[in-house]
Homo-oligomer: A and B are copies of this chain.
Amino acid sequence: MLDIKNFKTLSRYTDSKILMLVIDGLGGLPHRQTAKTELECANIPNLDKLTQESTTGIATPIQPGITPGSGPGHMSLFGYNLFQYIVGLGVREAICFGIKLSNKDIAIRGNFCTIDNQSVITDRRAGRIPDNDAKKLIKSLSQIKIDGIDITIKHLENHRFVLILNGSDLNPDITPTDPLLNNLHINQASANSPQSRKTATIINKFTQLSLDILKNETLANAIILRGFSQKPNIPKISNAYHINPIGISLYPAYRGIAAMLGMKVTNQGKNFSDLIEIVKNNFNDFDFFYLHYKDTDSAGEDGDFDKKVIYLEKLDTFIPELKTIGFDVFTITGDHSTPSVLSSHSWHPVPILINSDIPTSDKSTHFTETECRTGDIGQIHATDIMPITLAHANKLIKFEPTIPI
């Protein structure tokens, strides 16, 4: 199968412009009373009209039955094979909380925990310590100094924090101090390679200094660390697809992912109208716009069917404006399904619509799961959405391999 790295030679710059609108948690399931999905209940005349002028389909984000997190869902959308391009836990936590990382940073996921007087872990999550208490402990730990190393600690939520180390000759290939179960001792970090010995030593020193600082605390008297990682060395979509991309979202997590994948990200707005202004203001300077709409996912996660319907209807009112900006290709899809009846992300495939100047035999008339399933694009994998979108924008050359792919 072609991988994102193969598109370097398959794609080309053209002056056509693409808008990819990602409706977070787009796909749904039927309400138990009405037997209609959120999309089927919503009054979305503009999306329906666009559907009638578009080619449609349905995409499986990861693999049938597998429910993606937001990060994997988005990476799959942008064409990354998730079994090949892995983002370490420390980096993922940092990105999702909007923490910027430099290339040399080692990002580490930390837990506050409790240990008994035999140094055995009694609670790996310190009773999910309240944010305010955790922040005070973070402040104490921030005093720790280690020669030659810049140390940053950022609180995430409850017992969770990110530790970031920057210095020369650091390498994340070490074992975790977190044993992942209660009733075990905190592990010593060990180097998995000669290159990571220094990092292991620093982590063990940091852990010891933390224990000294926290020893009289009652809510959490120790820390455990895991997910040692660096910004992954993955292809940028700008290079891979010969595009000049910008990512536009109200939320740091999605801007973080966009930036990691090589998109320019820009100042956040306050609402979706602001984001559309950003699209318009940057229209001349970019040729690929990832535009993120979050509220549908939040309503689905809350199990609020009616609210998800309302957010779909609200989004629908923006479609004419987006349509008139002048994009050559307008792709609309989601990163995963978030059916309100499940109150969570799910494994169900997600509708896609690709609007362009290229004619289609597609008979879909409503932007729903069931109609898109019968559309001309068919049932595809999410990693196929970028290639199909690029193809509609005339950005892919004919495939005639002359060397091994």
Q: Taking beta carbons and an 8 Å cutoff, which residues of A are in contact with B?
A: 1-2, 10, 29-32, 35, 37, 40, 58, 60, 62-69, 71-72, 82-83, 86-89, 92, 227, 229, 341-342, 345-349, 358-361, 363, 369-370, 373-374, 376-381, 384, 386-391, 396-405
Chain B contacts of A65 at CB under 8 A? 384, 386-391, 396
Chain A facing B: main interface SS = loop
Q: In the complex, A66 Cα to B10 Cα: how many Å?
A: 9
Chain B contacts of A63 at CB under 8 A? 1-2, 384, 387
Q: Please tell me which one of the listed residues B71, B349, B374, B384 contacts residue A64 in the complex, with CB atoms under 8 A apart.
A: B384
Q: In the complex, A389 Cα to B347 Cα: how many Å?
A: 11
Chain B contacts of A342 at CB under 8 A? 358
Which partner residue on chain B sits nearest A31 by CB separation? B359
A-B contact pairs, 22 of them (CB 8 A): A29-B360, A30-B360, A31-B359, A35-B359, A63-B387, A64-B387, A65-B387, A65-B388, A67-B397, A72-B399, A72-B400, A82-B399, A87-B402, A227-B402, A341-B358, A341-B359, A347-B387, A361-B369, A361-B370, A373-B376, A373-B378, A379-B379
Instruction: Contact check, B58 vs A361: say whether CB atoms are below 8 A apart.
Output: no
Instruction: Contact check, B400 vs A69: say whether CB atoms are below 8 A apart.
Output: yes
Chain B contacts of A377 at CB under 8 A? 64
Q: Please tell me which one of the listed residues B62, B379, B387 contacts residue A66 in the complex, with CB atoms under 8 A apart.
A: B387
Q: Given A30-B359, A227-B402, A360-B30, answer yes or no on A388-B10 (Cβ-Cβ < 8 Å).
A: no
Q: In the complex, A327 Cα to B353 Cα: how many Å?
A: 38
The 5 closest A-B pairs by CB, nearest first: A65-B387, A69-B400, A64-B384, A65-B388, A89-B402
Instruction: Contact check, A396 vs B66: say whether CB atoms are below 8 A apart.
Output: yes
Chain B contacts of A88 at CB under 8 A? 402-403
| Most chain B CB inside 10 Å of its own CB: which residue of A87, A227, A376 | A376
Query: How many copies of this chain does the complex contain?
Result: 2
Which partner residue on chain B sits nearest A61 by CB separation? B399
Q: In the complex, A71 Cα to B399 Cα: how many Å?
A: 10
Q: In the complex, A271 Cα to B109 Cα: how many Å?
A: 57
Q: In the complex, A374 Cα to B58 Cα: how many Å?
A: 13
Known: A2-B83, A60-B378, A64-B388. 18 other contacts (CB 8 A): A29-B360, A30-B359, A31-B359, A62-B399, A64-B380, A65-B396, A66-B396, A68-B400, A69-B399, A82-B405, A83-B401, A86-B401, A88-B402, A88-B403, A348-B376, A361-B369, A369-B376, A373-B376
| Most chain B CB inside 10 Å of its own CB: which residue of A65, A373, A404 | A65
Chain B contacts of A387 at CB under 8 A? 63-66, 347
| Most chain B CB inside 10 Å of its own CB: which residue of A381, A396, A401 | A401
Which partner residue on chain B sits nearest A380 by CB separation? B64
Q: Smallest distance from the beta carbon of A329 to chain B beta carbons, Å?
A: 12
Which partner residue on chain B sits nearest A341 by CB separation? B359
Q: In the complex, A10 Cα to B65 Cα: how many Å?
A: 11
Which partner residue on chain B sits nearest A391 by CB separation? B65
Q: In the complex, A71 Cα to B37 Cα: how many Å?
A: 40
Which partner residue on chain B sits nearest A88 by CB separation? B402
